[in-house]
Structure formats: structure tokens, C-alpha cells
Structure 1
């Protein structure tokens, strides 16, 4: 499979993964909203149930306390007063013995009606409750009503389930039940729903049930299907799906662009080495004791028609693609020529060039003495090599000795941050240690790294090295390093990396 096909598959898979995650998040959000809606509906209905229970107590308890023995105008008047501001009760009846003898709506009955057996009796209050799916009131004999009949003492209440209906709730199906130890008693709504929910015949999150905190035997269950929920929120669902699709597509495009950018970076660097897109800058190195310019470090920069790349972008690519020696040869060919053209630079001026540790192990550095631009230069060429396990080999040691014998100076770059082997430090034939900028920046906060500078200087003196501190930005840092015995300094306090022409002007203006 070709590389571009593999990268396209990665982009598509990334977009698909983002889409799936987005759908999962959307579904989870919908589940939370569905749960919240069913809970809200259940609590709404339960609120009416508790209201009906409170209303029953508010009406029946005072009426029974009146202790009427027969139904007359006084009895009917009290019953009608109780019914006047009732919310759930539509009729009140009076019993003599076990026979209904009058109601608020029909008055005194011409023929008493025998009471029926209740569905259940609430213990304690001796409340008899019966569900009646079709009751014909005497005043509305042509219209059957679904009611709950509650009797306590000599009175009963006809309570219609209208306030529990779909007004104010979203769920199409619900049920109010009363639980006894041996049975469930239907009071309102869709009969049998509670048992279906208990048997888990519905999808997750579609149902919710709550029981009264004051009368725990009264419970409400509601069922809101996913299909109806999505239908009620179809516009939001469509928008969310569109956004999720866009997120997936955008992620795929971003990944594809990043992959393309990486591919493009490789190509740009390869072409840049051939077409001169790399250019070199020079940062001054100052003697801390005298304040004089003694050398510079060569630093690489890159810019082509697509823009600039930072060192932390192109250096890893150079290493990965085994272009380190090609890069080093291009650097030497250009920098020595540019610096040689600056007549103000004296003989013995130190030029620090960065060398990749892998080129030491591979033996490429053995070619340096053969480069006449270096061997015939009026400068002291200092090769800066970062600490690395490549340096801790007999092959590396042999190459170092050859370079020293050829007149090169060796500097151990970023000392203390990389691979350290103090036992071999003296055997590496180095002339100089370079203190990493993180140690210098730690001076202001008196951090741990700053406290290690005196120890580093002990090693410097022990092995008769010189020392350069990089990253100096303030007079305070300079003074502390100078007091510690550091020989040379490099950093923005003395000058940023600059092109050859600007470096020439720098030298002229600073009068070194």
C-alpha cells in the first residue's frame, strides 16, 4: 500500500473515530435529557397524587368529625361547602350504614345504593379505595368517567384522574399505583405499565418511577419512547448530527493536513539543502572578565517560499532522514566563507560549529581535517557536540583524538542535560564545557540547577577546561557567573543570533 493511501486511511479513521465519539456524546446527552424529562413527568404526576391525598384528608376528616347521622339539608350544605374549592374531588357522597343515601350533585337519593367492595383498604386511616374505569354519575348519566372512589367513615369522594392526564407532561404513557405487600393496585393511567417496567420490556432511559415521600405506597411510573423524544427534539437532533459530522470531517481534514505538512516538511528540507534554503546566523561569545568578543556560535535557520521552519522542526527531520552530514557540509561551506569575508575578525577568533553525535559514531567527523576551508582558516574551529551515548565508545574517543591532533577544539554542549558519564569526561579529549541555558535561567529563582554551577566549575578546573554559559540575559546573571569563575558568556544580553552582514555591523558598532 502506498504511503499516501496509508495516510488517507489514517485521516478517514480519525474522522470516523471523532464522529463515533461525537455520536456517543450526543447519545449520552440525549439519554440524560430523556431521563430528566421522564423524572420531571413522574414528579409532576406524583405531585398531583400527593395533592389528592392531602385534599382527601382535608375534606373527609372534618366531615366525619361533624358526626351527622342522616342526610338532610345541613349535611348537604356542609358537603357542598367542602366540595366548593376542591381541585380533584368532583362529588361527595354520604353513607348510612353501607348504603349511599345522598350526594352533593344529586341530593337525597330516591333509592339508596349499596357500596361495593374496595380494591384495597389503607391501614391506620381505614380508607377504602376503589378504581372505577367507567362510572356514570347521576347528573352525567350519558358520560362515563374514569374515577377513583375513596371512602372514609360515612363519606366518600369521587376523584377524577383528569388532573393526572397528559396536560403538563411529555410522556404519553404513565400509571399511578398503590403497593400492598401482596399486590399492585391500579389507580390511574395506563393499567399494567408499572409491571411492564418492572419486567424491563423497554429500552434504557425510556422509563422512570418515583414513590411518594409522604405516602411511600403510592408510586408513579412514566414511559417516554426514544422515538417520541427524538421526534419532539428533531430540530436539535439534526443540528447536533450535522455538527458531529462536521467535527468528524474537520478532524479528518486536520489530520490529513498535518500528515501532508509533515510530508511537505521532509520535502522542503531535502530541497532546501540543495537549493540553499538554509542560512546561518552568528551569536557572539564574550569573555566575562574582559568583556571582549572572543568568538561566535553558528546557528542554523531555514526559510523558503512556504515560510520559515524553526530548528526544533527541521533538526529532528534531518536526523530521521540521515541528512546530518549533508547538513554539516553545507553549514561549513557557507559559514567559513561568510566569516572569512569579515576582515574585522582577528586571527584566533573562535567559531563554534554544532556537530551531530551520530556523525561521530559513523566516522563522518574523520572527514573534517580534509576540508581545506577549515584547516586553512584563520579561526579556531570549536566543534560543539551534545552529550549522548554515542560519545561513550572507543570509536568516538579515537575520532576525538584525531580531531584534536588536527587542530580542532572540542566543546561538550548542553552539559548536565543529556547523557552524562563523568568517569569518561577526562578521556573525551574535550577543551570546553558549555553550561545549558536552563542552569543560567535558574539563577534568578535560586533553583536547584543554579546551585549546581559551582560543582560544574570544580569539574572545569579539575580537567583544565574552559567554560561557556549560554542564555545570559541580565546583568545579575552575568555577575553571578563571573563570580563563579565562568570564562565566557553567550546570550541575548550580548546579542541575538544575526546574519553575517548584521554581525559585521555589530562588531563595528560595539568596537570590540
Structure 2
């Protein structure tokens, strides 16, 4: 499954490479949006904090001053009382006036204006609450005149005293938020300020937020906006602001454009880098190790035939790689196997798999030779003996006679003693593709193989009577001299088979008899061939 997926990715590498670039760009875009939203969230929080500190300072000063007035000053508008009130005004940071009210809650005098010509009723307060056991009222945007100047004031009253704060001391901070309100208990806040950006939707949204115990602080994905609601501790004040996604981008436009260009360029680079990497996944080399682990390596079997009786006396095990619905030729995979150092894994897999399959499916025979090719790197007596001895004991099929094939040009003098040790341990040794290397009689005699396999190129040229095919008698002579059986590979027609038999070659293999077959097809053909030979013998 994994190899199918990797091959599919490799075949469609261009599309997946582009997709990776696009996804990386989208992820980068999301990251940019997140970072910009985080920056703006911090900016919004700082705006609230500045206003919160200002209002907290004003509120603390007002409450402290009102407590002092109610405790130490008589509200009788006397010169002494007004003078003392003026001294208190000068000693404060925010308060601009101190006023007195009568029992009907009408302004009668103040530290700045003195005694009013006539009592002036106070309007209904923006908020009235019992705070710390004291009846307290607050007015916001209350219009007042100070000489020729008019201004909006924040007024707080306790008892018969009120203090006045010029809102201009924090009006610039208010303009950085969208809503400033006064909230009593669970009631909706009375808004003393809202920006021009507040639409009916946002008015409803902020009202809903104040009804929650934990209002939203951060990005609200349902409306794609950054929102914030803060209550000023110890006061009835509530501050609310929002920034839509578009607002965030507009406020950070230069940075956004710069980062967007960077992300797009990065996406192109990722596409350019990933595409060739993915394209390599369609090559057999990229998936060979997993194919080996997942059973993608299959054993095919080609019969070795007695040229005289046409009896199947054995088989050669050949590797096939099933890659999805395709069969990969061994010559395509072998260079990658060597490059990745998988020779031992492949040889042991072929040996174990082939012998186990044949032991399970083949009928008991009088002796059936099984030839398995070995990689040159794996010609080691100790390694092979330690692997094969317990395997053959466990299979308990002595009629299946394992032979190890080595290619002529793959061995040298350094491994001859390893081959000799394997022969001594009972393993038949075959030299494959004989005639293509540079072995002389002395070297072959020293190796003393059980079988010499004549390379198919000699067989193919027999009918043309070219020089190469004329060497077959010499190869037969070498085989006879060292006591080796001879097997001719690549026999495709009866004429070749007859000529080889006449030259003294005992056995052959090739498409004339059968092509390499998967296990079940091979066993079926073997049994059919045996039945046919038995019938012909009886007749």
C-alpha cells in the first residue's frame, strides 16, 4: 500500500509539488494572518490598558475626594467651605471643580463658579449605584461652562458633594476604542461613548458579550474579527473594541504585502525543490527497500530439463519485482540493490522464500535441484551456512537439493576458498554465464564447480555458425575435464536443443521448455509434464 502511494506520488510529482507549494503558501499566509492578528491584539489590549489606567486613576481620585468631602466639609456654600474646596481642587490631578447640592439634588455652588444665581437641577445620572454602602451617581458627557469655555465633564456625586473632571484628559484614549460604557450588575451597559464604526450588528454583538461571564478576548472565527471586552476592576466601566480581518490587513498593509511576496516566493521555491524529490519516488530505487519488506519481491521458476528425456530435473529461481500492477525487470533493479547495500537482504529473502514455497507446494520427488543466484558480495561460507543450515533442517525436504549459483565474472581468487567450504558442506555450486568471463582450465579446475551453465549468447548464435558458437565444444571439454555437469541457457527451439545434445550438453533451460513461471503455474506445469512423460513411457 505504501509503495503504491509512493509510486502514485512519483508519477504525479508535478501536481503534488505544486500542491505542496500552494499548501506551504497557504500555511505561510495563515501564519502571517495569525502573527498580524497577534500584533493587533496586543495593540488593542494596550489601548484598553491605557484607558483603563486613566479611568481607574480618575475614579480612585474622585472617590477618595468625595469620601474626604463628606467626612470633613460642611456643604453650606460658605466662603470657608468654598475656599477649602478650591484648595482641594488645586491639590488633585484630574478634578477641575467641586460642587455642592441641596436636599433636592440641585447644584447650588462650586469651588470655581461660587454660589449659583439660582439652583440648577441635575439631570438623571448615566449610572446610579450603591457602592461600598454609599449612594453614588455618575454623569458622562455632562455639558458645563467654565467662563467663556464649554466642555464635556465626567461628574461623580456622593451625598451632597460632586466632583467634576474634564473628559479631555482622557478623550484621546477613548478614541482608540469603540465602546465605553457603564454597567450595573447584569443590566446592559449604558454607553457613554461609541465610535462611528459601530453598526447595528456590532451593537448587538457587544451587548451579547457583556451578558457573558467570560466575554471573548481574541479572534472570533465566526465573524472573522478580533474582539475584546474588558471590565475595569473595582469600577462599573466596560471597554469594548473590534478589528475586522480587513481592518487588520489595512493597518498592517506594508508588512502584509512584504510578507505575502516572501511567502509566494517561498512557495515557488518549495515547489521547485519538492517536485524532483517526489519524482524520484516513481523510480524503483526509492521504493526498493519497502518492496522487499512488503513482499513485492517474487520468486519465479524456470525448469532445468534433461535434453535427452525432457524430464524436469530442477529449476532456477529468478527474481521478479511486482511494483503495483507492473513487473520490474531484474536488470533495472539490481544496480539499485547494490547501490543501497541490499544484497544480503535480497539473497536471504530469495533463498528462504523459494525453498519454503517449493517445500510446501512441490510433491515429493526423487531429487529436484533448486538453483538460486547469489550476489558476489554474499559469497561467504560462515554467513550462508549459518543462514541455510537451520532453514533446510526446518523445511525437512532433502529431495529439494539446493544449489548456489555464482556468475563467472563475479568471483576471484579471494573467494575460491569460500566456495570450496560451501561445496564441502554439501551445497552444489554452479557457475552461471560461463564463457563470458576469463576463466581458464586451471582456474575452473581449482574451483571444481558441480555445474557449468553455458551463457545464452553462445546458444543464440549456434544457427548462424558464428565464431562465438564454435566455442561451445571447448566449454564442453572444460566441463568434462573438471567433472562438471553442463546446462545450456536460452534454448528457444528444437534445433538448438538437438545440436547441444549432440555436442555433449546434458541439460538445458529456455523458452522451448517453459518461460519463468510463478509458483502455482510452475507446480502445475511440472506435474503435467511428469504425467505426460509417464504416459509416453507406458505406451
With the shorter chain as reference, the TM-score category is 0.5 to 0.7
Which deviations, in whole Å up to 9, do the C-alpha atoms of 1:272-326 show, x marking residues without a partner?
A: xxxxxxxxxxxxxxxxxxxxxxxxxxxxxxxxxxxxxxxxxxx999xx9734257
Q: Are 2:395 and 1:424 equivalent residues in the alignment? A: yes
Give the whole-Å Cα distance in 2 for the aligned partners of 1:330 and 1:6: 22
Change (3 A) 1:316 1:172: farther
SS of equivalent to 2:238 = strand
Contact 1:46 1:219 in 2 (8 A): no
Query: Following TM superposition, by how much is the alpha carbon of 1:150 offset from its aligned partner in structure 2, in angstroms?
Result: 1.2
Give the counterpart of 2:122 among 115, 122, 142: 115
Instruction: Tell which structure's C-alpha radius of gyration is larger.
Output: 2
Give the whole-Å Cα distance in 2 for the aligned partners of 1:77 and 1:330: 102
Query: Structure 2 matches for 1:436-447, cutoff 5 A?
Result: none
Contact 2:12 2:279 in 1 (8 A): no
Contact 1:127 1:152 in 2 (8 A): yes
Which deviations, in whole Å up to 9, do the C-alpha atoms of 1:112-145 show, x marking residues without a partner?
A: 32233323321121011223x350314245x3x3
Change (3 A) 1:391 1:147: farther
Q: Are 2:181 and 1:173 equivalent residues in the alignment? A: no
Query: Following TM superposition, by how much is the alpha carbon of 1:395 offset from its aligned partner in structure 2, in angstroms?
Result: 7.3
SS of equivalent to 1:126 = strand
Partner of residue 24, structure 2: 18
Query: Structure 2 matches for 1:109-148, cutoff 5 A?
Result: 109-123=116-130, 124-131=133-140, 133=141, 135-141=143-149, 143=150, 145-148=151-154
Contact 2:127 2:184 in 1 (8 A): no
Give the whole-Å Cα distance in 2 for the aligned partners of 1:233 and 1:43: 21
Q: Are 2:250 and 1:231 equivalent residues in the alignment? A: yes
Which deviations, in whole Å up to 9, do the C-alpha atoms of 1:26-64 show, x marking residues without a partner?
A: 223333333333233223322222222211112111111
Partner of residue 487, structure 2: none
Give the counterpart of 1:403 among 354, 358, 371: 371
Query: Following TM superposition, by how much is the alpha carbon of 1:331 offset from its aligned partner in structure 2, in angstroms?
Result: 12
Aligned pair count reads 333
Q: Are 2:162 and 1:162 equivalent residues in the alignment? A: no
Partner of residue 208, structure 1: 228
Query: Structure 2 matches for 1:241-320, cutoff 5 A?
Result: 241-260=260-279
SS of equivalent to 1:224 = strand
SS of equivalent to 1:108 = strand
Partner of residue 392, structure 1: 356
Contact 1:147 1:160 in 2 (8 A): yes
Partner of residue 491, structure 2: none
Give the whole-Å Cα distance in 2 for the aligned partners of 1:259 and 1:330: 18
Give the whole-Å Cα distance in 2 for the aligned partners of 1:235 and 1:414: 73
Query: Following TM superposition, by how much is the alpha carbon of 1:266 offset from its aligned partner in structure 2, in angstroms?
Result: 7.3
Partner of residue 490, structure 1: none
Provide structure 1 residue ranges, at least 5 long, that are not aligned to the other structure.
Answer: 268-314, 333-352, 358-382, 433-463, 467-512
Change (3 A) 1:327 1:46: closer
Query: Structure 2 matches for 1:363-512, cutoff 5 A?
Result: 389-394=353-358, 401-403=369-371, 423-424=394-395
Partner of residue 304, structure 2: none
Change (3 A) 1:400 1:58: farther
Q: TM-score, structure 2 length as denominator?
A: 0.51
Q: Are 2:79 and 1:73 equivalent residues in the alignment? A: yes
Contact 2:229 2:240 in 1 (8 A): yes
CA RMSD, Structure 1 to Structure 2 (Å): 4.8
SS of equivalent to 1:55 = helix
Give the whole-Å Cα distance in 1 for the aligned partners of 2:336 and 2:204: 83
Partner of residue 89, structure 1: 95
SS of equivalent to 2:134 = coil
Contact 1:102 1:109 in 2 (8 A): yes
